[in-house]
């Protein structure tokens, strides 16, 4: 029997969305909201969807989709790049205007387990309870937790596949505890699956796409599932049933998105915030920029705010663009990734991104330590100065914030490690440089090492991994073909060089010296959407480190010398346990999760010219 754990079905979401539009636009009736949706459609959509082209779905086809499906396609589907300049209320308006369907068809009953989820506990059972198995964010799973040895990897086979219906991106990070796998999706559905079989215990519909790893945290007598979505809402669910406990919007800015997983300690959960505003700046009419990156501390019990630390001062109007659109600054400094907890020192560490507009600040492209109790900045160490950048900088009609910066975010979580009797905080940057900071000396840089060329689409992107001896850093460093329109182009073609990019480096923790380097693997055969770049977060077990590539391959490398131990191509079609048509594609964002003899990885990333996919894959030694 299917558990009743969907607090918001699609029809309810559509109703809430209409109310949101009416409120946001100062109108009180649905007719006015429809007029607003029509205006968005005529300005941004009609030129393509009202023409007769075999490559573009006509308006009549769009009208057969639910408002939820249209909205998710704009948020993080095939139309995400085109919709980048649209505010969230504009996306909601046009989705409700076009749709004539109240709800998406439910999954078949055979997709569900037919039994309640097992009881959760915080015992020492193997688990991967959030972005990393531990609060240090090393993404290293112990031998006991992994249940796999490096010598077992050659025998790994596919055990089951789960399809994300209607999605073209499979970017969410899985979480595993007590035999239950929790994972979000681009459609906004959060799934609780049996980790061994892939059957569903329950689902929950968030307000927007869910990319971050849900965090399992015990509070009182029950376990909560804590996560954010890409529209700025943060949730606490009962992990056993999927029922909502509370929900809070993290920031009032409409472009807020929560890409990084939360961190929790005791009665508090710490939520990082990034935004879509860097993309909104594509539009010449957008008043750029006013978003401020932040970390918010919430009480786990009820979601109330304990403290909030903005990482940039309140933006003020600076001047106006030639067309009269006002310009604001300072802005930006998003926190893309999970904070790293240091309970002994009473701080948490975050890596920050660039400013979106001038003037630039000392908090951008930095690693920052915040006091756990108050949010006070204990120390901040910036590695790249004067980095003001937004997507308006791409293209011939550049709308840059004055001086164009290099876009060198810290997109990956800092890793707290210990080497030669002292603690280090290691962080990788899009510049292609890995830094080691001293947490006891206000973030003093102890060593730095270049692991890639870096750039807007290069360097370290989603996450590194570390064991007791090395930190492992993979780089994207994808190279555009000369006739490509660029990674930020609103309309393809975006084409990547099939033989250049990628690379995995092992650095000695003690001094940053290069232990070994494994170059990227050229696409074989060369094909559209393929790049050797290795953007996905890394994961490690004793003797092996795993790296996903834009060519659809997941590879395991020996931590001793970098030789390939296992290589699986995920880019093909799959028969799924939930009956959804699914295929694999590029590997990006989240890395694999390894627990109790199972390895889980998402495949598919239809952004920036990469290959679409919508599947979660589970591998084990026993296979099918």
Domain boundaries, the chain: 10-98, 182-189+200-408
- Residue 30: pLDDT band (50, 70, 90) is low
pLDDT above 60: residue 458: yes
Separation of alpha carbons 183 and 173, rounded Å: 6
Burial 237-264 (b: 16+ CB within 10 A, else e): bbbbbbeebbebebbebbbbbbbbbbbb
Average pLDDT over residues 390-407: 81
**Which pLDDT belongs to residue 535?**
97
The first and second tokens of residue 389, run together, are 């950048």
Contact 415, 340 (CB under 8 A): yes
User: Which parts of 265-382 fold into alpha helices (H)?
Assistant: 277-280
Query: For residues 434 and 512, is the Cβ–Cβ distance under 8 A?
Result: yes
The three-class DSSP label of residue 159 is: strand
- Looking at residue 446, the DSSP 8-state letter turns out to be E
pLDDT band at residue 123 under the 50/70/90 scheme: low
Weakest mean pLDDT among 307-316, 354-363, 399-408: 399-408
Q: Is 450 left (phi over 0), alpha (psi -120 to 50) or beta?
A: beta
pLDDT of amino acid 488: 45
Residue 237 in tokens: 């669910």
Write down the CATH superfamily of domain 182-189+200-408: Quinoprotein alcohol dehydrogenase-like superfamily (2.140.10.10)
Mean pLDDT, to the nearest integer, of 616-624?
Answer: 87
On the question of pLDDT at 102 being above 80, the answer is no
pLDDT over 80 at 327, yes or no: yes
Of residues 44 and 231, more confidently modeled:
231
Chain centroid offset of residue 269 CA: 18
> Residue 487 pLDDT > 60, yes or no?
no
Least confident range from 323-332, 502-511, 557-566: namely 323-332
> Among 213, 286, 292, which residue's Cα sits nearest to residue 250?
292
Judged by average pLDDT, the poorest of 117-131, 357-371, 555-569 is: 117-131
Omega within 30 of 0 (cis) for the link into 330:
yes
Beta bridge partners of 568: 554
pLDDT at 61 over 70: no
pLDDT of residue 28: 52
Three-state helix/strand/coil letters over 449-461: EECCCCCCCCCCC
Least Cα distance to 616 among 214, 109, 160 occurs for: 160
404 or 251, which is more confident?
251
Residue range 45-63: mean pLDDT, rounded = 73
At residue 22 the predicted structure's pLDDT band, cuts being 50, 70 and 90, is very low
- The token pair that represents 398 in the structure block: 């550049």
CA dist 25 to 28, 92, 221, 256, Å?
9, 12, 43, 18
Per-residue pLDDT for 454 more than 80? yes
Residue 469 has pLDDT above 50, yes or no: yes
CB atoms within 10 A of CB 155: 13
The string of pLDDT tens digits covering residues 349-374 is: 999 999 999 999 999 999 999 999 99
pLDDT at 309: 98
Run of H or E including 321: none
% of residues, the chain, pLDDT over 70 = 90
Residue 335 binned pLDDT confidence (cut-offs 50, 70, 90): very high
Q: What is the DSSP string of 566-602?
A: EEEE--SEE--TT---EE-----SS--EEETTEEEEE
pLDDT average, residue stretch 316-335: 93
- Sign of the CA dihedral running 77, 80, 83, 87: positive
**Each residue's pLDDT tens digit, 404-426:** 899 999 999 999 999 989 999 99
Q: How confident is the model at residue 484 (pLDDT cuts 50, 70, 90)?
A: low
Percent of the chain with pLDDT over 90: 70
pLDDT at 527 over 90: no
Task: Note the helical H segments in 86-238.
Answer: 88-98, 143-146
Examine the pLDDT at 21 and tell me if it is beyond 50. no
Report, as an integer, the average pLDDT of 183-195: 96
Average pLDDT for the chain: 89
pTM of the predicted model as reported, rounded to 2 decimal places: 0.90
Residue 76 has pLDDT above 80, yes or no: no
Average pLDDT (12-31) is: 46
């Amino acid at each position: 029997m299917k558990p009743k754990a969907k607090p918001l079905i699609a029809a309810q979401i559509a109703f809430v969305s209409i109310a949101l539009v009416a409120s946001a636009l100062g109108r009180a009736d649905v007719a006015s909201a429809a007029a607003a949706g029509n205006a968005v459609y005529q300005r941004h959509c009609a030129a393509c969807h009202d023409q007769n082209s075999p490559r573009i779905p006509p308006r009549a086809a769009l009208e057969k989709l639910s408002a939820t499906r249209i909205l998710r396609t704009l948020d993080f589907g095939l139309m995400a790049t085109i919709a980048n300049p649209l505010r969230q209320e504009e996306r909601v308006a046009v989705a409700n205007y076009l749709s004539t369907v109240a709800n998406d068809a439910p999954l078949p009953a055979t997709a569900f387990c037919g039994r309640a989820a097992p009881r959760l506990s915080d015992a020492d059972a193997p688990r991967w309870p959030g972005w990393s198995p531990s609060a240090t964010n090393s993404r290293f799973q112990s031998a006991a937790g992994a249940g796999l040895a490096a010598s077992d990897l050659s025998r790994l086979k596919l055990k089951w596949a789960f399809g994300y219906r209607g999605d073209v991106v499979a970017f969410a990070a899985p979480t595993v505890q007590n035999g239950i796998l929790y994972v979000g999706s681009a459609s906004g559905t959060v799934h609780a699956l049996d980790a061994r079989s892939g059957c569903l215990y329950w689902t929950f519909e968030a307000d927007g796409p869910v990319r971050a790893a849900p965090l399992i945290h015990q509070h009182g007598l029950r376990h909560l599932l804590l996560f954010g979505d890409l529209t700025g809402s943060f949730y606490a669910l009962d992990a056993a049933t999927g029922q909502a406990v509370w929900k809070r919007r993290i920031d009032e800015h409409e472009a807020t998105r929560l890409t990084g997983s939360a961190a929790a300690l005791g009665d508090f959960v710490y939520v990082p915030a990034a935004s879509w505003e860097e993309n909104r700046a594509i539009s010449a009419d957008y008043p750029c920029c006013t978003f401020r990156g932040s970390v918010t501390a919430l009480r786990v019990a009820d979601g109330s705010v304990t403290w909030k630390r903005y990482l940039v001062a309140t933006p003020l109007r600076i001047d106006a663009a030639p067309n009269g659109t006002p310009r604001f600054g300072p802005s930006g400094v998003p926190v893309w990734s999970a904070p790293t907890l240091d309970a002994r020192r009473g701080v948490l560490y975050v890596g920050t991104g660039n400013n979106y507009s001038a003037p630039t600040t000392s908090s951008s492209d930095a690693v920052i330590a915040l006091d756990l109790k108050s949010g006070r900045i204990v120390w901040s160490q910036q590695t790249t100065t004067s980095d003001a950048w937004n997507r308006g900088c791409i293209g011939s009609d550049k709308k840059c914030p004055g001086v164009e910066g290099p876009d060198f975010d810290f997109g990956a979580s800092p890793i707290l490690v210990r080497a030669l009797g002292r603690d280090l905080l290691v962080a990788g940057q899009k510049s292609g440089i890995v830094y080691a900071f001293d947490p006891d000396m206000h973030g003093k840089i102890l060593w730095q090492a270049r692991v890639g060329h870096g750039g807007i689409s290069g360097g370290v992107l989603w996450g590194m991994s570390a064991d007791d001896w090395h930190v492992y850093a993979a780089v994207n460093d994808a190279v555009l073909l000369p006739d490509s329109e660029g990674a930020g182009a609103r309309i393809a073609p975006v084409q990547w060089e099939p033989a250049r990019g990628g690379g995995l480096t092992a650095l000695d923790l003690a001094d940053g010296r290069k232990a070994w380097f494994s170059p990227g693997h050229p696409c074989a055969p060369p094909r559209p959407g393929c790049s050797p770049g290795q953007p996905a977060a890394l994961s490690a077990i004793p003797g092996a480190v795993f790296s996903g590539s834009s060519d659809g391959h997941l590879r395991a490398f020996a931590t001793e010398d970098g030789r390939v131990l296992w290589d699986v191509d995920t880019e093909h079609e799959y028969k799924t346990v939930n009956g959804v048509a699914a295929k694999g594609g590029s590997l990006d964002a989240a890395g694999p999760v390894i627990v109790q003899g199972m390895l889980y990885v998402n495949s598919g990333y239809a952004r920036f010219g990469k290959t679409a996919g919508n599947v979660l894959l589970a591998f084990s030694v026993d296979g099918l």
